[in-house]
Structure 1
Amino acid sequence: MVSTGYFLSCEEFGPRELVRQAQWAAEAGFERLWISDHFHPWIAEQGQSPFVWSVIGALSERTRLPITTAVTCPTTRVHPAIIAQAAATAAVQCEGRFALGVGSGEALNEHILGDAWPPAPVRLEMLEEAVAVIRALHTGDEVDHHGEHYTVENARLYTLPDRPVPIYVSAFGPKAAKLAGRIGDGLCSTKPDGDLIATYRESGGVGPAQGGFKVCHAPTEEEGVRTARRLWPSEHLPGELAQVLPTPRHFEQASTLVTEEAVAGAVPTGPDPRRYLDTLRAYADAGYDEVYVQQIGPDQERFFEFWAQEVAPHAP
C-alpha cells in the first residue's frame, strides 16, 4: 500500500498557516509531509514565500510526521555547507524524521544574488558536488573541500542527528534519475512515470521514490478548475520554462497561454473522489512508495475532511 503525505506549499501560505495545515493533515490520516523551498512564489497571485527552515523548526514542535523538503536547491542561492548545517539541525529538531530533498533548482529562486544561471548539465554537476559536500559535513569530521564549484575550509558541524540525514534527489528526466540512483537515498518527482522510476532503480536507487501532485477539491469541477488556473497556471508550462524564467512576472506572462481546459485535463478537481483516487493509483502503479497531495486554494479544512472521509478509505 502506498504511503500518502501532504504537500505544504510555501508559495501559497504563510508560516503559521502551514503549521496549521500540518496538524490538519495528521488528523486526516496523512502519514508524512513535503514542504517546498522557494525564495519567490511562482506567480504573485500565490502571494507567499516564507523561509522554509524556520517553518520546519515550528513544524517539529507541532507534529511528529516525517518531513522532506521538496525540494531544496543547495547550489547557488545557498552554499551547500550552509544547507548541510540547516538539514542537520532540522533532523535534530525532528528527532530523525527529516529527509533533505534536493534538486538542480530554477532561475526564479536561484539567480537572485546575481549569479549566472548555468545550463542543465552544469547544474547537475553542481548538484552532485553539493551533495558530496553535505555528506562529508554530516559525518561530523572537519572538512576541507576544493572542488570545481565549491570551496570549504576547516568546516565542522557540531549539531548532528544520530544518523546522517537521508538525501533524496529530484528528477524529471533520465539524466537526473540516473544521478538520483547513483548519489541519492531516494527520489523525488511530480510525474507518474514508471520509466523514470525504472531508470532510478536501474542506476542503483534502492531508497523510497516520492511523488507528488496537486488537486483542487471544490463544490464543482468548474470552480476547482478556476481556482487551480488562477493560482497554479505555471504548473502546466511546457519544456524548460519552469527552470529558466527569472521572475514571477515572467511566469505570469507565460501562463496567459495556459487554458482552463488544460488545467481540467491535468488536475483532479471538484467533489468526485474517483478523480483523486485515479491519480493516486497512477502514481502507485508507476512504482512510487510515497505520494504527496497538495490542495490548491484557501479551502484547506474542507479538503482534509473530504480526503479523510471519501478518499483515504479507498486509497491503493
Structure 2
Amino acid sequence: MRRTIIKACAILIGILCMFYMYKGYVGYQMVKGIVDQPPIVFSVRFKNGDRGTFKYNIKNRKYERISDYIFQELSYSDDYEKIIGVIWEDRFQGLAELDMEDYTLRPIISLKDLNKCVKEVNLKEIEYDGPGVTQLRMPKYYKDGYTFFWGYYSTVICYIREEEGKWNIRILNNTDSTGHNYFLKKEPETLFLETEKPFVENKTETGIIIKKTIDKDDEIVLVDGTDENAFIDMSDDMTKIVYYSEPKIYMYNLETDKNNYISSQYLIWQHMLYLKLSSDGRYLFYTVGDIPFFWSDYYRMNFFIVDTKTGNKVNLNRWEKGDRFYGIDW
C-alpha cells in the first residue's frame, strides 16, 4: 500500500513538472515572438524608496528608469515617440511629456494655467495640496492638442490646444457619472466612454460603454458586467473593445456585434486593474493587483501578457508588496 502511494505521488509530481515545463516553454516562445513592440512604460514609487518613470523590456524582463519624475496617468503618443502624463509634485504640477529617444522632459501646461482655462468654461479649479492622488486624469494626445478628465470623480473631458501663444479650451463631454476610461476617434469626431452609470432601465451592471458623436446624442455600444475596477481598451482602428467580465477576458467587435473569448483570469482577493492591447492588436497586456490584508497597503501588482489568438499567457513579473504604481501603458 505504501509503495502504491509513493508511486502515485511520484507520477503526480512528474505530471506537474511536465505541465509547468510546458507552460514555461509556451510562455518563453510567446514572449520571444513579440517583435517590434514598444516597451511597457510605468511610473512607480518602489518600497525601497526608488521612484520615477521606467521602461520595461518584455523579452528580458528588465526595467530601467527614464525619468526621476513620476508621470502619473501616463500614455503614449500615436507614434510611440513620446509619453504624456501628469506631474504632481512640489517642483511642478500640470501636464508634461517625455521624449522616448533622449528622455528629455518638456512641461506642456502648468496647473495654474489650466485653472485659468477652466474658468472660461465654468469648471471648478483644482488645488494642489502635496504629492499623491491627482484630480487631473488620463491625459492623451488628440489632434494638435491634449485631452484629459477634469476632476477625479467626473466624466468632464476637456480638449486644449495652443494657438498663437494662447490656450483654447473645449469641453467634449460633461455628464454626472464617474468615467473610468475614454477613447477618441478623429474622423468623424467620436468619443467612446466607459462609465459606471447604468443607461438602460433595469440594468445594474457597471462598465457600460457609450459611443458618442461629439455634440450629438449618445448611443450604447456594449452593456455587460465588466469589472468596475478594470479599464477597457480599444484597438487602434476603434473597431474592437477588449474588456474583463470575471473570470473571462473578451474582445467585442463593433462591426460584427460579436464577442470573442480570449482567456480566463480567476481573481481570488484580487482586482483587474489595467488592460492594454499591443499596437498590432495581437497581444494583450494586463495587470492584476493583490488586495492587501484589510487594505493596509497598496495593491501588489502582477504583469501578464496574453496572446489574443491562442489564449496562451505568461506572468511577466510579480512586483514587491508596497510598490505603488501611478500609471502604465504599452
The structure in which a higher percent of residues are strand is: 2
- TM-score normalised to the size of structure 1? 0.30
Structure that is richer in helix per residue: 1
TM-score (norm. length: structure 2): 0.29
Question: Computing the radius of gyration over CA atoms, which structure comes out larger, 1 or 2?
Answer: 2
